A and B are shown apart, each in its own frame.
Chain A
Amino acid sequence: MHPTTLMYTSSLLLMFAVLLYPLLVTFTSLPLNNDWASSHAKTAVKSAFLISLAPLSLFLSTGMEAVTSSWTWMVTTTLDITLSFKFDHYSIIFIPIALYVTWSILEFATWYMHSDPLMNRFFKYLLTFLVAMLILVSANNLFQLFIGWEGVGIMSFLLIGWWHGRADANTAALQAVLYNRVGDIGLILGMAWLATNVNSWDIQQMFILSKDLDMTLPLLGLILAATGKSAQFGLHPWLPAAMEGPTPVSALLHSSTMVVAGIFLLIRMSPLMENNQTALTLCLCLGALTTMFTATCALTQNDIKKIVAFSTSSQLGLMMVTIGLNQPQLAFLHICTHAFFKAMLFLCSGSVIHSLNDEQDIRKMGGLHHLAPFTSSCLTVGSLALTGTPFLAGFFSKDAIIEALNTSHVNAWALTLTLIATSFTAIYSLRVIFFVTMGTPRFLPLSPINENNPAVINPLKRLAWGSIFGGLLVMLNINLFKTPVLTMPAELKLAALAVSILGLLTALELATLTSKQFKVTPLRTPHHFSTSLGFVPAIIHRQIPQLSLLLGQKIASQMVDQTWLEKTGPKAIANATTPLASATSNMQQGLIKTYLTLFLMTLVLVTLISAT
């Protein structure tokens, strides 16, 4: 084998080994030392990141991609499954970014979870999640992807329900599992269709063999899978509920890595979707609806983590819109840049929450830019990157998406909704900054405000560098497959910026109203709609479980006995025969008139029958 290929594939497999080693150590019966979390887990992730930079630099300098098939798992006459890893430009760029973000989050978690007695287990869960995510991202066949897919789902459940003594956390974990399961139905449907019609789960083989087939059904299955995993409208309530978990979990799983798995699946399968207009339109409309709906919900939330969660959901909708525009690479670009600033926003929220003694309500924060200047600066930089401020990370991906949207032959309502959502992004971002960092403090005086800990500062610093330069670095080194439209009227070019500035000015105006004693009464109907998250949890989480559980209980306990004993069994026979018996016995009462009437009737009947 050529030395470059050898170095490429072996460094990536070494990266897996480095990540698996701390996990395997925990399976022995030896007790872990107290700082296993920082000495082993965090170091493993840091080392894996540094190892993964080697293949990244090989890819950037030579354009090298590789498919590594290590071990034949099972071979049948029609289907064979091998352990194969696809290190193409998607996985080669995503893996270092995911490892960089995870390294920062793990370092932050050594401070955040310091008082937790089971911190080692927490880190073990995070590492297991990371390994599952990397398996998902580097999978070359759908079976391996499914292993990673389920792995991240299970780890999400365990991590959201970390504080399992809290009933709300258990409910949230259950919600995550159930909604993901509904999405898994779609993935399994897609896999089954492909196995029966194309006889392969291998990505390259599927693309070639499905050229002339009608792929609508499996694509709908894959879109359903993405809807579940990436919290698109309809299967979205689990994502804000997942904020019950610790902040490092929210930062890693529910902003940067796990929730983009659905979008990543669609990006991987994008050659199948290119020619299917139904699937593309569905992605576009679903993504536009998601981004607008969740941005609307984010406007009136008061929990800082919920605002960031809805922001994540809105950006995921934007990624779905991009896939609907047949621009998977732009969606991937947005995944990469989004990971940096969203993880940073969550870590800033975590720093603020811990500093204010676990206060999460933004109405009880304020003035933190004097008291926690570094955190506030990072919060501001992250929010600016999120809104697409020119030349920060988010700008390169978000502006490219909006430009592609404006210059495509596209559903006008989807375009409108996406632009509205972009302005809403600016509004709720300013709301967070205004309530958290500006103004006067609204919290108790004796709050343990301390950001002066390297375990807090260093991760935030690293992610801030990523939020500022990440977009530029990725954009400079990536080769776009589809030629972007570069000539367009100035209004379209500046549309994203104009809409964001409009949102910002509106939010500033609303914010300054509070200092002018202007009694702003919000319109109650839309305010309730937004605060109650569109009434989706209230309706869906009550009606459907109640119906199914009640019906299940009734059928299992009452209706089976009632049916077999009363409606069809002994009592039914009794109810049927009693009228017959009473009618017969009423006739046989010894009255001569009755008997004579019967004789006459029989005679008439016989005469009529014999006459015909």
Chain B
Amino acid sequence: MAGVGFQRWVRTLSKGKISGISGLLPACRSGEILTYFPINIGEIAAAAKKYNIRVEDYKPIADNGEGYGDYPQLPDRSQQDRDPAYQWDHPDLRRNWNEPMHWDFDMFIRNRVDTSPTVVPWSTMCKQLFGFVGFMLFMFYLGDKFPAYQPVGPKQFPYNNLHLERGGSPDVEPEEVKNYEI
């Protein structure tokens, strides 16, 4: 069993198309998964057919050495952005069967990033939120500088400022302390 698989792998490698361990994958043998960046019109048509997109809509991701191959560049819209009332094949995922998946599809599921349009533009939202927070922080700083408190005065004690209780001698005449004015 393993020997048969090994022979098939060697044969696939010798064809020169796919290198390495990915040659073991069944899809590699028919060249179904990622192939190279399409250059001519034939490769573009084949790639569009492979990914189930029309040739006019197919646009590969730019070849910057990032290894995307011929994977299409789909619009960065999340699943939450899609029409909830349309009769999707998978209504909870808002997706039809065999639809091309975005490269970052796991980021755009309904539990993650939402790209649906907001009520106000992004810049307005940021300005208002961070302006609000900044204003609050500034006002808290001012409030700390000018706190609110009830007016208080120094403590007043009876018996001539507690002369005896504070260890003063009973023979010495204490100085008169008047804590009131008439």
Q: Are B119 and A532 neighbours in the complex by a CB distance under 8 Å?
A: yes
Q: Are A413 and B66 neighbours in the complex by a CB distance under 8 Å?
A: no
Which stretch, B50-58, B138-146, B156-164, touches the partner chain A?
B138-146
Which stretch, A199-207, A326-334, A446-454, A544-552, touches the partner chain B?
A544-552
Contact residues of A between 448 and 491, Cβ < 8 Å to B: 488
Residues of B in contact, count (CB < 8 Å): 34
Complex alpha-carbon distance, A354 and B148, angstroms:
48
B129 at the interface (CB under 8 A from A): yes
Complex alpha-carbon distance, A540 and B45, angstroms:
41
Q: Are A528 and B111 neighbours in the complex by a CB distance under 8 Å?
A: no
Q: Are B104 and A412 neighbours in the complex by a CB distance under 8 Å?
A: no
Chain B contacts of A411 at CB under 8 A?
A: 140, 143-144, 147-148
Q: Are A535 and B129 neighbours in the complex by a CB distance under 8 Å?
A: yes
Fill in one digit per residue for B57-68: 1 if any A CB lies within 8 Å of its CB, else 0: 000000011111
Q: Are B140 and A528 neighbours in the complex by a CB distance under 8 Å?
A: no
Q: Are A412 and B146 neighbours in the complex by a CB distance under 8 Å?
A: yes
- Interface size band for A: 35 or more
Fill in one digit per residue for B17-46: 1 if any A CB lies within 8 Å of its CB, else 0: 000000000000000000000000000000
Q: Which of B92, B107, B111, B132 is the most central at the interface, judged by chain A CB atoms within 10 Å of its CB? A: B111
B113 at the interface (CB under 8 A from A): yes
Chain A contacts of B148 at CB under 8 A?
A: 406, 409-412, 415
Q: Are A549 and B107 neighbours in the complex by a CB distance under 8 Å?
A: yes
A407 at the interface (CB under 8 A from B): yes
> Which A residue's beta carbon lies closest to that of B126?
A539
Complex alpha-carbon distance, A582 and B114, angstroms:
51
Q: Would A562 and B65 be within 8 Å (CB), given that A167-B110, A542-B115, A545-B113 are in contact?
A: yes
A289 at the interface (CB under 8 A from B): yes
Q: Are A409 and B149 neighbours in the complex by a CB distance under 8 Å?
A: yes
Q: Would A412 and B147 be within 8 Å (CB), given that A170-B111, A542-B114 are in contact?
A: yes
Q: Are B111 and A553 neighbours in the complex by a CB distance under 8 Å?
A: no
Q: Would A409 and B147 be within 8 Å (CB), given that A538-B118, A562-B67, A566-B65 are in contact?
A: yes
Q: Are B67 and A561 neighbours in the complex by a CB distance under 8 Å?
A: yes
Fill in one digit per residue for A394-416: 1 if any B CB lies within 8 Å of its CB, else 0: 00000000000011111111111
A534 at the interface (CB under 8 A from B): yes
Q: Are B107 and A546 neighbours in the complex by a CB distance under 8 Å?
A: yes
Chain B contacts of A531 at CB under 8 A?
A: 119
Complex alpha-carbon distance, A562 and B147, angstroms:
58
Complex alpha-carbon distance, A294 and B120, angstroms:
20
A185 at the interface (CB under 8 A from B): no
Q: Are A542 and B113 neighbours in the complex by a CB distance under 8 Å?
A: yes
A525 at the interface (CB under 8 A from B): yes
Complex alpha-carbon distance, A542 and B68, angstroms:
25
Complex alpha-carbon distance, A167 and B149, angstroms:
50
Q: Are A546 and B132 neighbours in the complex by a CB distance under 8 Å?
A: no
Chain B contacts of A165 at CB under 8 A?
A: 92
B150 at the interface (CB under 8 A from A): yes
Q: Are A534 and B132 neighbours in the complex by a CB distance under 8 Å?
A: yes
Fill in one digit per residue for A165-191: 1 if any B CB lies within 8 Å of its CB, else 0: 101101100100000000000000000
Q: Are B110 and A539 neighbours in the complex by a CB distance under 8 Å?
A: no
Q: Are B140 and A413 neighbours in the complex by a CB distance under 8 Å?
A: yes
Q: Which of A289, A542, A566 is the most central at the interface, judged by chain B CB atoms within 10 Å of its CB? A: A542
Contact residues of A between 515 and 561, Cβ < 8 Å to B: 525, 528-529, 531-532, 534-536, 538-539, 541-542, 545-546, 549-550, 553, 557-559, 561
Q: Are A413 and B139 neighbours in the complex by a CB distance under 8 Å?
A: yes
B128 at the interface (CB under 8 A from A): yes
Name the contact of B113 in the complex, choosing from A415, A528, A546 (C-beta under 8 A).
A546
A281 at the interface (CB under 8 A from B): yes
Shortest C-beta distance, B34 to chain A (Å), equals 12
Chain A contacts of B10 at CB under 8 A?
A: none
Please, could you name 19 A-B residue pairs with CB atoms under 8 Å apart, sorted by A?
A: A171-B111, A408-B149, A413-B139, A413-B143, A415-B148, A528-B120, A529-B132, A532-B125, A534-B129, A535-B118, A535-B126, A535-B129, A538-B118, A539-B125, A539-B126, A558-B66, A561-B66, A562-B66, A571-B65
> Apart from A285-B140, A412-B147, what are 9 other A-B pairs with CB-CB below 8 Å?
A410-B148, A411-B147, A528-B120, A532-B120, A539-B126, A541-B113, A545-B112, A562-B64, A562-B67
Q: Please name the 8 residue pairs, one residue from A and one from B, whose CB atoms are nearest each other, closest first.
A: A413-B143, A411-B143, A167-B110, A409-B149, A558-B66, A535-B125, A412-B148, A412-B143
